[in-house]
Structure 1
Amino acid sequence: MTSAFRFDDDARRSLLERLARVAYRHGQFTLASGRESEHYVNCKPVSLSGSGLALISRAMLDHVDAQAVAVAGLTLGADPLVSGVAMAAALANRSLDALIVRKQAKGHGTGAWLEGPLPQKGALITVLEDVVTTGGSSLKAVHQLQEAGYVVNRVITIVDREEGGAKAMAAAGLDLVSLFRLTEVSNCARELS
C-alpha cells in the first residue's frame, strides 16, 4: 500500500465481496449483546489479513476527522484497525497515532486504560470499530477517552448491523460512519452464493 492507493469503487466492491465471503454467516447466532440473530459478522479474518487490512485501513482513513491526532478503539476488534489506519496515514504522509482502549484498567503498573503514544489533553481522536450493533463497545471506548481528557466526535465502523448503534451514537453526540451496512453485506453474500 502506498500513498498513491485510493479507496475507489473497485476497492470498495473488493472489500464488500471479501466481507461477504469471509466475515458473514447466515444461520442462528447469539450475539455478544445476548440478542439472537440470523446474521453473524466477524471481521477479524479480513482485518487480520494483510490485504484485507490494507483495504479497510485506506477506507477508514478517508473518514478520520481531518484534525484528529490519533485513532483509538476497544481491544480486541479495533487492535488491527487502529494500527492499520496509523500505518496508512504514515504512508500518506499524515501524522496519526494509534491508541488501544483496554476493556478494564491494567491490573498492575500504572493501571492504565489506554495504550499507545498519548496525545495532549483536549486532542481530537477518532474511534474505530469492526462491527457496531447497539454501539455499546464503541461508547465504552469513547467514554474512556473522554475520561482521559480527549475529544471524540466520530466513530468509524466496518459494518453497521443496523440494530440501534447509529441512534445510540447520535444520542451521545457522535457521528457514526459505516463503511458498509449489514444489508449490503448480506445481499452481497446472497449474490455470491
Structure 2
Amino acid sequence: MDIRSRAPLMNSSSSRREALRQMLARQAYRRGDFLLASGRRSEHYVNCKPVSLSGAGATLLAPLLLDAVDPRAQAVAGLTVGADPLVSCVAMAAALAGRPLDALIVRKEPKGHGTGAWIEGPLPAPGAPVTVLEDVMTTGGSCLKAVKRLREAGYAVQEVVTVVDRQDGGQTALAAEGLHLKALFLLEHISTPLEHQP
C-alpha cells in the first residue's frame, strides 16, 4: 500500500517515524554533485519541502516534531521558507492536542511596508520561550539567522528541532550560541538504501 494513503491512519509513534523516514528517503534525498546553501559541495542533497508540503508528509511530521518541542515553549518559529510548513503543521497539531503553541515565521528581510516587521504571527510576550524548527541542518547558518531575530525581539530561544541533521557542523555552531539541537533523523537514516534499513 502506498505511504500516502497509509499515513493519516497511523497511530503509533514508531509507525509514523518509519513511514516518514521512507518518505524522506524517496522524496527528499538525492545523491549527486550539489552546491549547498552553505557554499559547500556535497554528494548528498536533502530537500524536505516535497514531504513537508504534502498532506501525508505534514500529517506524519507534525506529531513527531511536536513531541520534540520543549513543553514550556509558547511558540515554534523558523526562517522562511523551509520552516513555514513545519511551524504551521506543528501549531495545528498542538491545537488539536489542546496545547497552546503558536507559529511564528522569521523573514529573511524586514517587511517592506507597514511595520517593517521581521517576525510574522501571533507574537508572545517578551521573554517567552520559543523553539526554532528547521527542515535540514547543515552548518546552522540559516537557523542562527532566525535565532538572532527572535532573541533581538526578546524571546528566550534555547532549543532547535530539525527534521534532518546532516552532521556537518550545525550542532557545534548551535552549541556555541547556547542552543540544544534535537533531530528526528540523521543523514545516514535517509541516505541508506531502503532495502538495507531495519
**Structure 1 length-normalised TM:** 0.95
- Matches of 2:160 and 2:122 in 1, distance apart? 20
Match of 1:182 in 2: 187
Is contact 1:16–1:188 with CA below 8 Å preserved after alignment?
no
- Measured against aligned partners, the alpha-carbon deviations of 1:50-82 in whole angstroms (never above 9, x if no partner) come to 110111111100011111110000000000000
Tell whether the 8 Å contact from 2:10 to 2:16 is kept in structure 1 after alignment.
no
In the TM superposition, what whole-angstrom CA distance separates every residue of 1:84-127 from its partner, at most 9, and x where no partner exists? 00000011110100000000111111110000000100000000
Aligned-residue offset at 1:189: 4.6
Q: Is the 8 A contact 1:68 1:125 kept in 2?
A: yes
For residue 71 of structure 1, give the secondary structure of its aligned residue in structure 2: strand
Matched to 2:114, the amino acid is: G
For the 8 Å contact 2:77–2:130, the answer to whether it is kept is: yes
Partner of 2:4: none
After TM superposition, what 4+ stretches of structure 1 lie above 3 angstroms from structure 2?
Answer: 4-7, 188-192
Over aligned residue pairs, what C-alpha RMSD do you find? 1.7
- Per the alignment, in what secondary structure is the counterpart of residue 73 of structure 2? coil
Q: Does 1:11 align with 2:16?
A: yes
Shift of 1:191: 3.5
Aligned to 1:81: 86
Q: Which has the higher contact order (CA 8 A, sep 6+)?
A: 1
**CA apart distance, 1:183:** 1.1
> Match of 1:158?
163
Structure 2: how far apart are the matches of 1:143 and 1:191?
Answer: 40
1:128-187 alpha-carbon deviations (Å, 9 max, x no partner): 000010001111101100000000110000000110001111111111000000011111
Helix, strand or coil at the partner of 1:149: coil
- SS for the counterpart of 1:94 is coil
Distance in 2 separating the partners of 1:7 and 1:80: 22
- The whole-number CA distance in structure 2 between the counterparts of 1:149 and 1:70 is 13
- Greater alpha carbon shift after TM alignment, 6-15 vs 155-164: 6-15
> 1:9, CA displacement in angstroms?
1.3
Amino acid in structure 2 at the alignment position of 1:48:
L
In 1, the alpha carbon distance for the partners of 2:11 and 2:164 equals 20
- Find the counterpart in structure 1 of residue 63 from structure 2: 58
Give the 3 Å change call, closer, same or farther, for CA 190–76 of structure 1 in structure 2. Answer: farther
Residue type at the aligned position of 1:44: K
SS where residue 62 of structure 1 aligns?
Answer: helix
Q: Distance in 1 between matches of 2:145 and 2:54?
A: 26
Q: Which residue identity lines up with residue 92 of structure 1 in the other structure?
A: A
- Structure 1 unaligned runs (5+)? none
Seen in structure 2, the aligned counterparts of structure 1 residues 117 and 181 have a Cα distance that, compared at 3 Å, is same
Match of 1:136 among 141, 148, 151: 141
